Chains A and B, each alone.
Chain A
Amino acid sequence: MRFRAKIVDVACLNHFSRIINTIAKLAKTCILRLTVCKLYFILSDKVANGGASMWCELSQGNFFDEFQMEGVAAEHNEIYLEFVPENLSRALKTAQSAKAVKIKLTNKHCPCLRVAVELPSLSSSSRIVTHDIPVGVIPRRMWNDFKEPRVPDFDVSIYLPVLKTMKSVVERMKNLSNFIVIEANLSGEMNLKIETDLVSVTTHFKDLGNPPWASEDGCQSSAQGRDLESMAEACIDIKKLQQLLAGQQVNPTKALCNIVRKRIVHFILLHEEVSLQYFIPAIA
């Protein structure tokens, strides 16, 4: 099992760092899955995470100048590692002016991702900073725990409002309540609501648009059969929503959410080179 990768381009490095920062805001520990073409950051919906789960996927070719991976076995040419994304975020934080960043899987005293940053210096040789990030190697028998989650059978799918606006609304609401209700309909309308003993606040968004989903032999019923005005709602932990929105450092190309009433809200944020899905279960 081997892994070595290198980033030389400054823009790629910045972009990769921003992604890691976003992941670090969403998960204290997560799984890094490496394949020949892609990297995945996975958080499975264990109770410890408050039931939230995450699936983030990016093509290595868009970031790395060199990428070599040999999985655990020929038929299973993948590597699953458990790590703390905050460590990687910190390692990359001071690497923004680096000439090159190399990442390598090593096992000197324990399995680590070694991030070696080559920094410019006034002297003849570059400065080298290495960060050894401890990782846990996930054995093959546990890989099934980390499969890509299916898109749920949603009641409503809707594009999100401008994330910056949504974030500032949610941040203010967070001061008043621990839970927030997201509801939306197939006419492009979304409401964010909080309700406490003393106060209830609702923010209305309209003309958001509903993404077209290809119907799969009738399991997503076509729009005609449904009441376009009827709202599908789910009450979720406001902190999780706020973390998701706060972690977005760059505006996604597409941002939408799928609501299964009273069950789960599935967020999909698409950028050119990376896609992020985040599932927040509804509070009963």
Chain B
Amino acid sequence: LSRIGDELYLEPTESGLSLRAVNSSRSGFASFLFAPLFFQLYEPGSAGPETELFRCKVHMKSFLGIFRSLPSLEKSVGKCLILLKPRASRLVLQLHCKYGVTKTHNLAFQECERLQAVFDTQSCASHLCAPARVLAEAVVHFPPTLAEVTLGTGPGGKISLRNYVEDEAEPSKTMVTELWLAEDEFQSVAVAPGSHITFCLKEFRGLLSFAEASNLPLTIHFDEPGRPVIFTLDDTVLEVHLVLATLSDLESDSQSPSTNGVSHLPAPSDDFADDLESFMADMETSEGGSERPSSPTFPLRTPRTAESKPEEEQEEEEEEGAVPGTPPHKKFRSLFFGSVMTPGRPGPATTQEVLAEDSEGES
């Protein structure tokens, strides 16, 4: 969660304790729902007819600081008690350690609005499920600093991962890495042919290492470029969702994938177009050295008026299971990822919609 945002949202619900985070540009949201059975004791408190279950947010760093060294925690801590004291304005974390030592941490919290991204895995056209290990092994081929990656489908049912090269970067200077996975490496594959999405790899890596450590299969739900991609992990006592905005494919938004040549990621074959003879001839004769070759076709992401359908967004249902009985106070809308560089600036309503509104401090 700390890979996503700087604040940790704690929401006790009837179905368990939900820990959530959102990133500053509102393009990434994650939630971990721990079922009551996960805990030795779970008391979410009581919600009256006019009050909701109390929820708050704390500084991520303060919270993480308490659990700093996992190996030593495992050795010395017997129990951990988390207590929310609204009237004292404190979130209390008490570590009951060996030899009768008790460490009590009092964290200041802020009250907050419900943080809920609007998404629906059911309405996604494509779903992939793979053991975390397979995805981790795939991602290792990309440099740790790589910002975005494109996941796509190719002929023969193969799934590809490719580093996303921004338009500003010179294509003739940037190395392109592409990995192909066969369908049978996945536990399940149900994808729309020719589909592809581009999302932030850094935020995904965080979830991936969690999945690897817990040995859980990871499911990826995605749809058209621009619609969020949802990663889920499921366990008997834990439900994890990571929702990331994807790069909008503005040019092809209204076209079907088959007419947009970009969607067809070529399968790896040995017959690459070898046009070096004529290239060399060009080079020898041209004056200033080599001419700039045409850049590889890739979706443009100039934020023009998006061909988005805002009314569709508002009809989207909220994810079942992630929404307890209490309806949100605000209508959350999903995000269109206009630009990597732009922090969440308020663009025209049709192009940049906010995943989660800023909390206003009053409930």
Interface residues of A (CB under 8 A from B): 1-2, 72, 84, 87, 90-91, 94, 104-111, 114, 116, 121-125, 127-134, 136-137, 139-141
Contact = CB atoms under 8 A, between A and B. Distances in A.
A130 B283 contact: no
B268 A106 contact: no
10 contacts: A90-B143, A107-B293, A108-B272, A110-B293, A114-B272, A116-B268, A124-B184, A129-B179, A137-B280, A139-B280
A140 B184 contact: no
B268 A128 contact: yes
A2 B274 CA distance: 8
Contact of B279 (A87, A128, A134, A137): A137
Contacts of A131: 175-178
Given A107-B275, A116-B268, A137-B283, A128 B180 contact: yes
B174 interface: yes
Nearest to B267: A128
A121 B185 contact: yes
B182 A125 contact: yes
A129 B289 CA distance: 32
Interface in B273-332: 273-277, 279-280, 283-284, 289-290, 293-296
B39 to A, nearest CB: 36
B226 to A, nearest CB: 25
Contacts of B182: 121, 123-125, 127
Contacts of B274: 2, 106-107
Nearest to B172: A110
B295 A91 contact: no
A148 B288 CA distance: 26
Given A109-B293, A123-B181, A130-B179, 14 more contacts: A1-B280, A94-B141, A106-B273, A107-B274, A109-B172, A110-B172, A123-B185, A130-B178, A132-B177, A137-B280, A137-B283, A139-B283, A139-B289, A141-B284
B283 A1 contact: no
Contacts of B283: 137, 139
Given A128-B268, A137-B283, A139-B284, A91 B184 contact: no
B185 A134 contact: no
A91 B181 contact: no
B140 interface: yes
A44 B44 CA distance: 70
B171 interface: yes
B181 A132 contact: no
A275 B172 CA distance: 31
Contacts of B75: none
A96 to B, nearest CB: 11
Contacts of B293: 107, 109-111
B173 interface: yes
A241 B285 CA distance: 41
Interface string B153-178: 00000000000000000011111111
B166 to A, nearest CB: 15
A140 B280 CA distance: 10
Taking residues whose C-beta sits less than 8 angstroms from the other chain, chain B's interface range is 35 or more
A124 B186 CA distance: 12
A140 to B, nearest CB: 7
A91 B177 contact: yes
Contacts of A130: 177-179, 268
**When A and B form their complex, which 10 residue pairs have the shortest distance between CB atoms, in order from nearest?**
A110-B293, A110-B172, A123-B184, A106-B272, A132-B176, A109-B296, A87-B175, A123-B185, A125-B182, A129-B179
Contacts of A139: 280, 283-284, 289
Contacts of B273: 106-108
A129 B272 contact: no
Contacts of A94: 140-141
Nearest to B180: A128
Contacts of A90: 143, 175
A114 B289 CA distance: 23
Contacts of B289: 139
Nearest to A106: B272
A13 B78 CA distance: 49
Contacts of A106: 272-274, 276
B175 A127 contact: no
A110 B280 contact: no
Given A109-B294, A109-B296, A125-B182, A2 B171 contact: no
Given A129-B141, A139-B283, A105 B276 contact: yes
A94 B179 CA distance: 12
Contacts of B280: 1, 72, 137, 139
Nearest to B161: A129
A269 to B, nearest CB: 28
Contacts of B294: 109
Residue of B175, B268, B274, B294 contacting most chain A CB atoms (<10 Å): B175
Contacts of B284: 139-141
Nearest to B289: A139
A136 B176 contact: no
B184 A111 contact: no
B276 A107 contact: yes
A189 B38 CA distance: 70
Contacts of A110: 171-172, 293
B177 A129 contact: yes
Nearest to A3: B276
B297 to A, nearest CB: 9
Contacts of A123: 181-182, 184-185
Contacts of A125: 182, 184
A107 to B, nearest CB: 5
B172 to A, nearest CB: 4
Contacts of A84: 175
A82 to B, nearest CB: 11
Interface in B141-159: 141, 143
